[in-house]
A and B are shown apart, each in its own frame.
Chain A
Amino acid sequence: MENKPKKPTPSIKQNLGRHQDPLARRSNFDEVALGFGPEEALTEAARCLGCKTKPCELACPVNVKIPEFIDLLYKEDTGAAASKIFETSLFPAICGRVCPQETYCEAACVLKDKFGPVSIGRLERFTADYARNNGLITPPPCAPDTDKKVACVGSGPTSLAVAAELRKLGHAVTVFEALHEFGGVLSYGIPTFRLPREVVRFEVDMLRRMGVRFLKNVLVGKSLTIEELKKDFDIIYIGSGAGLPSPMNAPGEDLVGVYSSNEFLTRINLMGAYKFPENDTPYYIGEKVVVVGGGNTAMDSARCAQRLGPKSVTLLYRRTRAEMPARGEEVENAMEEGINFEFLTAPVELEGDEQGRLKRVKCVRMALGEPDASGRRKPLPQPGSEFYIEADSLVVAIGQSPNPVIQQTTPGLSANKWGGIIVDEATAKTSLDGIYAGGDVVRGGATVLLAMKDGKAAARAIHEKLSAGTK
């Protein structure tokens, strides 16, 4: 590999990567963002100034060694670039796709205001994909076995991060998953057009090659209690996620055709219902679909629905586009794909026919008032503005709260009033000795990256405890 001296070319415009054409992609479940080819990656990598202060790296929740891996990419040593990322994060193919880089590393990039930031997320994805597809990824070495046993509950991002870190340190790790597929929200929640399943499977397989044991079909809290697990494991890490759907509490929510986003996305993504009848799990959306909510889950639901070929998909959000919690990129993607956005609109009642099937949604227009506790302007219903939207199906995507099963079946485990497990922030320790928790079961619905960050912090604390020899 030639050691070419780098002359950064920051003034080249930021490359946002290629995307599947909106008209084509709105009827398939293939990946929307197509990423970089080697040449695009090289050109984008050349833009990086390699700042000594590493603002991007400091802004990254899992502290990926960004300037160093980009430098290795520029030197066309993609394998070494992948290894560099691996030093702090084992899941670059996932993070490169689903991390909101625009709020972390790319927001911190010094080129941001003048030329647009370096496309760090796309470079991370390229590195991971290229290394995976060319057999350049070898699992990191693991320390000699310590004979300490750790159980991770749930196989989503936070548990995967814990499993990776602790296995590297020589501990025996078993991951318990309630469903039949590993990955948690990466498998049941995020659609394949944002995160192909082979990426998730590859990462799980890599942990398996490192010696992590994966057990599916076990719902901890029901199939096995935490107390029972405690007899067989030194440490338990709870990463059971925010799986409890929040209802709208509007009349008519039990009508056939009304889904929680969890149910709709699980049918489509985990069960592959979009391939019905080739796959056996059915879905029902009819011709007119309404989605309620303004977050990423609402975007995912609307975009999945659009791909099933209804006549229309309409998204109702009670505030305006500016207040939407969804990533800007996802909102744009959804708009390009032909989803109708009704801002400042909230459903108040769902009406059905005699068979109990949804027929129309009574809505009200909102106006923004004074800022509320969240700092956002509070939406206020406008009297007399009621109107109807016809709908055969409706997806409620207004938030999830922590899955309550473990909290309900584990005496002494403290939880807050929203059901989140209470932990010590620095160590992820719960109220019970030897039991740790992190990710969405603590935070409520947050992000994949924060879940991974929690997992890494917890792994450090767990390793310290195990090394101290106190059980």
Chain B
Amino acid sequence: MKHDIYSTEGLYKIVEKTDISETISKHVLFAPLIAAKAKAGHFVILRSREGGERIPVTLVDWSPENGTVTVIIQSIGKSTTEMNAFKQGDSFSDVAGPLGTPVEIKKWGTVLGVGGGVGIAELYPIAKAYKQAGNKIVSILGARNKGLLILEREMAELGEIIVTTDDGSAGKKGLVTDAMNDLYAAGKGPDAIFTIGPIIMMKFVAQASLPHRTPTFASLNPVMLDGTGMCGGCRVEIGGKPKFACVDGPMFDAHQTNFDLLLKRTAAYRGQEKDSLERYAKGHQCRIGLH
């Protein structure tokens, strides 16, 4: 069906919602313009309601035919917890996008995807696009435990997967970088690496691939406000120069990225975020086990 991408009818409605784990939900949203223009690596900014925060999330999937886009949200703070409490048929007040610069899709040979936690959801469309471009896909999927491991089956359809968990409840016990080092040691080093996950994980992925000079790209997730290149709040340092993750990224050369600065800047609002979540949890039955 051909949708009018300029229509506001039924915009941002949750067409389908699936809980993937206790804290992670998949939302399929009606947004025909975004669905028609989306490419791998694009993100959207969600707002649950008036007064709500602008939350950036990478697109996991999209269907121009259905006029829908798919996002996966992990309940971390108040806003994401509130979003995951939405039911099918509810509507977000805003879904802006597609935003950012899509990844350049080309033939590398073997592409290694290294995803951590909910970052695996963001890795999926990129791996899929590279697969379609004729690359061989190998993925290392890391999670704290089996319950937080997502999209294992979908990623396995694209190529070999190696699972690591912190507690050994699925796959190998250990870190994604252990699995990377094993690959290099076995002479199976990839031609390019794409990594999405916690900053500290991406930092170590970049360190592990540096001696092998494998081109490595990381999807950065700084504190973001407008997402349109207007505020500079999401500035990151790439090769010693400031870049705006929202319009220049979010994918950057990981070997050029100042991860330590990113770690410091993402901690800016931790106090307020915790405070806000605690207030919210007091008023609602808490789903995420605050201590």
Contact = CB atoms under 8 A, between A and B. Distances in A.
**A and B bind:** yes
Interface of A: 174, 178-180, 188, 213, 215-219, 222-224, 228, 232, 243-245, 247, 254, 256-257, 259-260, 262-263, 266-267, 270-272, 275-282, 284, 355-356, 403-405
A263 B231 CA distance: 4
Contact of A282 (B8, B47, B273, B279): B273
Contacts of A259: 233
Nearest to A282: B272
A218 B228 CA distance: 10
Contacts of B242: 247, 254
Nearest to A276: B272
B238 interface: no
24 contacts: A180-B47, A180-B96, A188-B230, A217-B94, A217-B95, A222-B99, A223-B33, A223-B99, A232-B6, A243-B230, A244-B229, A247-B232, A254-B235, A254-B237, A256-B265, A260-B233, A263-B225, A266-B231, A267-B225, A280-B53, A280-B78, A280-B79, A282-B272, A284-B269
Nearest to A267: B225
B106 interface: no
A331 B97 CA distance: 38
A262 B237 CA distance: 19
B264 A174 contact: no
A208 to B, nearest CB: 11
Contact of A215 (B6, B54, B279): B6
Nearest to A257: B268
A128 B93 CA distance: 31
A399 B286 CA distance: 45
A247 B242 CA distance: 10
Ordered nearest first, which 7 A-B pairs have the shortest CB separation?
Answer: A356-B264, A263-B231, A282-B272, A217-B96, A243-B230, A280-B53, A279-B51
Contacts of A232: 6
B186 interface: no
Task: Tell me the dominant secondary structure on chain B's binding face.
Answer: mixed
Task: Tell me the dominant secondary structure on chain A's binding face.
Answer: loop
B56 interface: no
Nearest to A281: B53
A178 B268 contact: no
Contacts of B93: 180
Contact of B275 (A256, A272, A277, A279): A277
A321 B42 CA distance: 46
B272 A284 contact: yes
Given A266-B225, A279-B51, 19 more contacts: A179-B96, A180-B47, A188-B226, A216-B96, A217-B96, A217-B97, A223-B98, A232-B6, A254-B235, A254-B242, A257-B268, A259-B233, A260-B232, A260-B233, A263-B225, A263-B231, A263-B232, A266-B226, A281-B54
A366 to B, nearest CB: 26
B261 interface: yes
Contact of A174 (B6, B235, B272, B275): B6
Given A243-B228, A280-B78, A223 B276 contact: no
A277 B280 CA distance: 10
A147 to B, nearest CB: 16
Contact of A254 (B52, B95, B231, B265): B265
B51 A178 contact: no
Contact of B269 (A174, A179, A218, A282): A282
B228 A276 contact: no
Contacts of A280: 51-53, 78-79, 276
A211 to B, nearest CB: 14
Contacts of A218: 33, 96
B111 to A, nearest CB: 25
A178 B228 contact: yes
Nearest to A216: B94
Interface string B213-245: 000000000000111111111010100001000
Given A174-B6, A223-B97, A282-B269, A262 B247 contact: no
A217 B34 CA distance: 10
B229 A404 contact: yes
B276 A405 contact: no
Contacts of A256: 264-265, 267-268
Nearest to B234: A263
B78 A262 contact: no
A219 B6 contact: no
B188 interface: no
Q: Quick one: which of A216, A223, A247 has the most chain B CB within 10 A?
A: A223
A178 B96 contact: yes
Contacts of B98: 222-223
Nearest to A220: B228
Nearest to B34: A223
B261 A254 contact: yes
B224 to A, nearest CB: 10
A217 B96 CA distance: 4
